[in-house]
Structure 1
């Protein structure tokens, strides 16, 4: 049934508290799935250049000391994860242009999942939830787990937002791979085309209601088919289709269903959304309270 498998995770860290939370979550997923885990820190060459401007140059010795310190911090983080999560990560330090180096290292190591914090140290604070995030999401070929909360247990309940594009089935299978045994809410928000225009044009409410009912039936049917194709267990799966704005309803449903992870595709089914990364995906990344897993 072409189920997704997680065999290797790569956690990106700048040693901030949010990044440590991301590393802890990565270790929990690695333990639960029997996957290998690597930790990566990149020394930003842009910051080195700034240091050079301030001090009239940065010697090779200074750069090497910075790399040594990064390796020591990585090793300490790895030891914490070994002690508290019973996982032994590999550690990797690199130097270069931050975004380009992160993506290049991820491509070289080829993990099944990238894990990162939603906030970071000052020079990375807006890396993953700003314009750079959009560029990285376009460039990355691996799914990304954006960690917003300090982890205390495995994911219990997962909201998978689907639009019935090709990415929807991949998102469901990825969610099962990341959190086997969790409960799932498979969610779709739909709208009736030109509904406000139909109302403005004076179309009878009974006629508009007929369109709404047909759209609801179509969405319910497609949800059942998608859940069947994904292999999700019916006993632990809820299908929910609602009419209205997708972003608003996804965020509301996260709270109403008490979900601790949202899974959403990188792209929407509309070409324009593909070009913009997906406006729904971007808003969910910013507005969600819990962690967000972006399927590729």
Structure 2
């Protein structure tokens, strides 16, 4: 068992990033659902497009024309359509990714929620990729329309400390969900150097490592006993996608530290491959740097 058990408590402050287009509606619904489930503060940030201020050349003298910021705030409140605990609105301008990061830091938000206009298997947009690389907060990329809380969560692991944090976060944030834990080993040209007997031996070794990883993860015994362990061979993004499609998981959880450029060039590309490849919501849990 690890000496320092991470907190299983869900975020207390959530930041929803919205551009008010249609693909943001699902992220808004999910952020509201999570804020209500966790009794968390909900911060909403909208970044104004440059040069988008409305003009009213024929407005009557008694009319005070609303600013673009005021109209954006009005639409956000209308879209929320109900009371949201601890609602805080940020309507700002500038580079969208940097404005989102600044709003999250100012509000001390532990989770950023955003939608994506990209379909699965396509490249990430600039804002999503920047947040994956730079955000100190965890990041939830929403694709699916919410139908209640998450019910079937697939957690990816490479047996590192940060992936253990991802598992404990999934268990603590979504206690009612079924949990599956998947390790994917990508062995180039495996069939050329592993015969059937050695392949079976390798599979047993990997499952033993998985069981040891689970045993060393600070989870309540009853939660640990319900985790479904899976060991697969192939590309991580492919195996995760296939499980989601066949078993109808509604959330994939991966985890990472916020590291420098060299790490992302050599190792960290896995997250950037998984997020666009998986056809459901993806949560990147940001592990504490210590």
Gaps of 5+ in 2: 55-63
Q: What does residue range 221-240 of structure 1 map to in structure 2 within 5 Å? A: 221-228=208-215, 229-231=217-219, 233-240=223-230
* Compared CA separation, residues 94 and 273, structure 1 to 2 (3 A): same
Q: Is the 8 A contact 2:6 2:165 kept in 1?
A: no
Report the alpha carbon displacement of residue 64 of structure 1 after superposing the two structures with TM.
7.5
* Compared CA separation, residues 147 and 204, structure 1 to 2 (3 A): closer
Q: What does residue range 162-181 of structure 1 map to in structure 2 within 5 Å? A: 162-181=157-176
Equivalence for 2:61: none
Report the alpha carbon displacement of residue 273 of structure 1 after superposing the two structures with TM.
6.0
* Compared CA separation, residues 24 and 240, structure 1 to 2 (3 A): same
Q: What does residue range 181-192 of structure 1 map to in structure 2 within 5 Å? A: 181-192=176-187
Report the alpha carbon displacement of residue 168 of structure 1 after superposing the two structures with TM.
0.4
How big is each residue's C-alpha offset from its partner over 1:50-80, in whole Å with a ceiling of 9 and x where there is no partner? 889xxxxxxxxx99711111221222233x1
Equivalence for 1:215: 202
TM-score by length of 1: 0.79
Return the alpha-carbon distance in structure 2 between the equivalents of residues 288 and 204 of structure 1: 29
TM-score by length of 2: 0.80
Report the alpha carbon displacement of residue 166 of structure 1 after superposing the two structures with TM.
2.2
Report the alpha carbon displacement of residue 278 of structure 1 after superposing the two structures with TM.
2.8
Stretch moving more, 229-238 or 65-74: 229-238
How big is each residue's C-alpha offset from its partner over 1:176-231, in whole Å with a ceiling of 9 and x where there is no partner? 233121110000111446635xx2xxx5836xx42x33432232123223323141
Q: Is the 8 A contact 1:30 1:36 kept in 2?
A: yes
Gaps of 5+ in 1: 53-61, 121-127
Q: Secondary structure at the match of 1:96?
A: coil
* Compared CA separation, residues 105 and 31, structure 1 to 2 (3 A): same
How big is each residue's C-alpha offset from its partner over 1:233-284, in whole Å with a ceiling of 9 and x where there is no partner? 1443201111222221111011222200011124699x97633673332222
Return the alpha-carbon distance in structure 1 between the equivalents of residues 186 and 238 of structure 2: 13
Poorly superposed stretches of 4+, deviation over 4 Å: none
Q: What does residue range 11-22 of structure 1 map to in structure 2 within 5 Å? A: 11-22=16-27
Q: Is the 8 A contact 2:236 2:274 kept in 1?
A: no
* Compared CA separation, residues 132 and 13, structure 1 to 2 (3 A): closer
Equivalence for 1:2: 6
* Compared CA separation, residues 272 and 220, structure 1 to 2 (3 A): farther
Equivalence for 1:252: 242
* Compared CA separation, residues 116 and 244, structure 1 to 2 (3 A): same
Count of equivalent residues: 264
More helix by share: 1
